[in-house]
Structure 1
C-alpha cells in the first residue's frame, strides 16, 4: 500500500456519503430560502415579482449550463477542487446579493455567481463521487440518502432563514447564510477522492457524449427532468407568495416549503430504496403522474392552512425522488466513467425547466394577477413527463454490459 493510498484510506464510502449529505444540506438548504426574500426585497427596492423571479430563473439556468462542465472537471481531476471553487463563488454571490441595488447587480449576484456556485456543490458533482464509491446494488439507495440530505437542508435551513430575516433584516440574513455556505470549503477535502477512471475508462469525452446523444432514453431522461425542474422551481419560489395572496400568513408559507423538505427526506430515501429493487423508470412514471393529481386537487379544494400543508407533504414525498432514480439510470445505462458529466447534462434539462418555472410564474402573475395559468401548465407538463418516462430502456448499453 503506497503513501497515497494510506493518506486517502479514511475516505470510506460511509464518510464520503455522510460528507456529501452535509454539503448538499448546506448548498440546497440556502438555495431554497430564495422564496423567503421575494417579498421583502421587492418591497424595499420597488421591484416587480418578475424582476426577482428572473434573477432566480437565471440562477437555475446558469446552474444547469455549468453543471456538465463542473461534472467533467470532477470526472477528470476529482471533485475536491471543483467543490472548493464553487463554494467560494456561492459565498461571494450571497454577499453581493445582499448589497445589490439594481436589477442588473441582482442578476449577476443571485443569478450568475450563485448559479455557478450551485453547479459545483450539488447533484452533478456530489452524486458522481458517491456513485463511484458504492456498489451497484447499493447505489440507488446511497443516491437516495444523498438526495435526502438536500431535502433536510430545505427543512432545516428555511426556518433559520426566516428567523434571520425577522431578527436582522434580509441583508444581514444573506451574509449570515453566506457564512454557512463557507463551511462547504473545508468539507470538500473528503470529496477529493483521487478519482480513477471506472470501467469504460478507454472511452473519450467526445465518444461518451456521442453515445449518450444517440440514445432515446437519454433524451427522455432530459425532458422528464425538465418538467421536474419547472414544477419544483415554480412551487419553491412562488408557493409562499401564492399562500399569502390567498389570505394566509407568511409563516404558513414558510412552513409549507419546510414541510416539502421534511417529507422529501422520506420520499428520497423511499424512492432510492425502491429504485434498487425495481424498475427506476416505472417509479418515475408514478412520481410524475401523482404530481399531476396532487396539483389538480390542490387547485380544486378551498385554500386553507390544512390544504396547503397537506399539499406540501404530498409534494415533498415526490419532490426529489426523481434524483436517485434519474442519476441511477444514467449510471446503470452508461456506466460510471463519465457519470458526473452525463448527469450534469441531464440536470441541464432540469434547470432549463427551473428557469421557465421560476420566471414564468412571476411573469404570469404580473400579467394576470394570478398564478392559475402556471399551475395548469405544471399539471399538463407532469402528464407529459409521465408519458416520456414510460419508454426508457433501462438495460445497460452493450459496451457497458461487456465492461
Structure 2
C-alpha cells in the first residue's frame, strides 16, 4: 500500500477523498433522513397503521448495524471503493422496489433489508474510516468532522427536495427520481483513493509484528471503555431515529402541516454541518469522552425544554437548530476514540461494531415510536425514554478514555 509521509497538512489525495466522501454521505444520509416524509402518504394510501412503516425503518436500522462490522471487514480487506459501489447499486434497487411497495412484506424487504444493506456500505463507518486512515493523527478528528459536516448538507438539501418531489409527482415517482440520484454514488466511489498515513519516522523503524484480526477483536471485547463507548452510541441511535422518523407525525398530530416537519429536519441538517465540524475540531484539542458527555446532557435539556414550552413554529425551529448542533456531532468523536484506542488498521470493522449498538438503539427508537403512537395516540412514553437515555449517555462516557491499547 502506498503511504503518505508529509506533515500534518491535508494532502491532495486526502482532500479529493474528503470531497468524494462528502457527496456520497450527502446522498446516502440525505435520502435516508427523508424517509419520515413517506410515512403519512404511504400509510394513508394503503391504510397502514404507523407501526407498519416504523417496523420497516426499524428493520433497516437493525440490519444496517448488524451488517456494518462485515461490510467494514470487507472494506478493510478489499478497499472502501468496491464496498461503496456495491452499496450504491443496492441503494438504487431498494428505492425502486420501495416505489412499488403496496404491502408490508415488500416494504420490509425494500426499505428494511435492501436499503439496510446499502446503508452499511455507504455511510459513516466505511467513509469516515477511510478518511481517518489517510489523515495525520493530530488532524484525524477534524478530517472526520469535515466529511461529516459536508455530508450533513445533504440532509438540508434532500429534505425539502423530497417534500417537493412528493407534492409534485406523488410518493412513488419521487422514489424513482431519488433512485436515479442515488446512483451517482457509484461513480463518486472512484474518489476514495487516498493512501494510508504513515509517520515519517515509522519508515526507518524496525517493523513490529502486527496483531491479527482475531487478536484485535479479543482485545476490543475485553476492553471495558470500548464497551461503554459502544453502549453510549445506542443512546444516539434511539434519539436521532425517533426524531427523524416520528417528529413530522408528532407535529401533524398537533395541527401543523407536513412542511413544518420538513423545515425542522432541514434545520437539523443545516446546523448539523456546524455541529459535526465543531465537534471534530474540538475533538483534536479536548477530551472526546468529556465532549460526548456534554453533547448527551445538552440533548436531554433540549428535549425537556421542547416538551415544556408552548408548542409553536418558533419553538419547533429552535429545537431543530439546537438538535442539529448536537445531532451527529457524536460520530467524529466516537470514531476518533476508536482510532485512538486501536489504531487504523482495522478501524472500519471496529467502528462498525460500535455502530451496531447505535443501530440497535435506532431499531427501538423507530419501532417503539410507531408502536407507542398506535397504542396510545401519542409519543409520551418515547419522549420520556429519550430523556432518561440522555442521562445514561452522560454517565457511561464517564468510564470511557482514549488510552491507546494498540498503536498504529
TM-score between the two structures when normalised by the length of structure 1: 0.95
For 2:372 and 2:108, locate their aligned partners in 1 and report how far apart those are by CA, in whole Å: 20
For 2:348 and 2:381, locate their aligned partners in 1 and report how far apart those are by CA, in whole Å: 35
Query: In the TM superposition, what is the alpha-carbon distance from 1:249 to its structure 2 partner?
Result: 1.5
Matches for 1:136-155 after TM superposition, within 5 Å: 136-155=137-156
* 2:277 counterpart of 1:269: yes
Asked if 2 retains the 8 angstrom alpha-carbon contact of 1:63 and 1:119, the reply is yes
What's 1:6 paired with?
none
Query: In the TM superposition, what is the alpha-carbon distance from 1:149 to its structure 2 partner?
Result: 2.5
Q: Deviations over 1:195-233 (max 9, x none)?
A: 799998722111111011011111111111000000000
Asked if 1 retains the 8 angstrom alpha-carbon contact of 2:134 and 2:195, the reply is no
What's 1:100 paired with?
101
Asked if 2 retains the 8 angstrom alpha-carbon contact of 1:73 and 1:82, the reply is yes
What's 2:52 paired with?
51
What's 2:382 paired with?
374
* 2:268 counterpart of 1:260: yes
Asked if 2 retains the 8 angstrom alpha-carbon contact of 1:234 and 1:358, the reply is yes
Q: Any idea what SS the aligned residue of 2:99 has?
A: helix
List gaps (5 residues or longer) in structure 2.
Answer: 3-10, 203-207
What's 1:5 paired with?
none
Matches for 1:336-375 after TM superposition, within 5 Å: 336-375=344-383
Asked if 2 retains the 8 angstrom alpha-carbon contact of 1:142 and 1:272, the reply is yes
Equivalent residue for 2:222, pick from 214, 220, 237? 214
What's 1:7 paired with?
none
What's 2:259 paired with?
251
For 1:265 and 1:97, locate their aligned partners in 2 and report how far apart those are by CA, in whole Å: 29
Asked if 2 retains the 8 angstrom alpha-carbon contact of 1:78 and 1:194, the reply is no
Matches for 1:306-345 after TM superposition, within 5 Å: 306-345=314-353
Asked if 2 retains the 8 angstrom alpha-carbon contact of 1:11 and 1:190, the reply is no
For 2:398 and 2:145, locate their aligned partners in 1 and report how far apart those are by CA, in whole Å: 21
State the superposition RMSD in angstroms. 1.7
Query: In the TM superposition, what is the alpha-carbon distance from 1:150 to its structure 2 partner?
Result: 2.9
Asked if 2 retains the 8 angstrom alpha-carbon contact of 1:294 and 1:315, the reply is yes
* 2:13 counterpart of 1:12: yes
Asked if 2 retains the 8 angstrom alpha-carbon contact of 1:60 and 1:355, the reply is yes
For 2:159 and 2:52, locate their aligned partners in 1 and report how far apart those are by CA, in whole Å: 22
What's 1:160 paired with?
161
How many pairs were matched up? Answer: 393
Q: Any idea what SS the aligned residue of 2:300 has?
A: helix
* 2:288 counterpart of 1:288: no
For 1:34 and 1:312, locate their aligned partners in 2 and report how far apart those are by CA, in whole Å: 17
Distance change >3 Å, CA 11–CA 182, structure 1 → 2: farther
Distance change >3 Å, CA 44–CA 103, structure 1 → 2: same
Equivalent residue for 1:279, pick from 273, 280, 287? 287
Matches for 1:77-96 after TM superposition, within 5 Å: 77-96=78-97
Asked if 2 retains the 8 angstrom alpha-carbon contact of 1:79 and 1:193, the reply is no
Query: In the TM superposition, what is the alpha-carbon distance from 1:349 to its structure 2 partner?
Result: 0.6
Equivalent residue for 2:248, pick from 222, 240, 243? 240
Q: Deviations over 1:320-343 (max 9, x none)?
A: 100000000000111000000000
* 2:389 counterpart of 1:389: no
For 1:223 and 1:274, locate their aligned partners in 2 and report how far apart those are by CA, in whole Å: 22
Q: Any idea what SS the aligned residue of 1:100 has?
A: coil
What's 1:133 paired with?
134
Matches for 1:112-123 after TM superposition, within 5 Å: 112-123=113-124
- Which stretches of structure 1, 4 residues or longer, exceed 3 Å deviation after superposition? 192-201
TM-score between the two structures when normalised by the length of structure 2: 0.94
Distance change >3 Å, CA 201–CA 170, structure 1 → 2: farther
Q: Deviations over 1:250-308 (max 9, x none)?
A: 11110001000111100001111000111000000000001001101111111111111
Query: In the TM superposition, what is the alpha-carbon distance from 1:194 to its structure 2 partner?
Result: 6.7
For 1:192 and 1:65, locate their aligned partners in 2 and report how far apart those are by CA, in whole Å: 26
For 2:371 and 2:166, locate their aligned partners in 1 and report how far apart those are by CA, in whole Å: 26
Q: Any idea what SS the aligned residue of 2:256 has?
A: coil
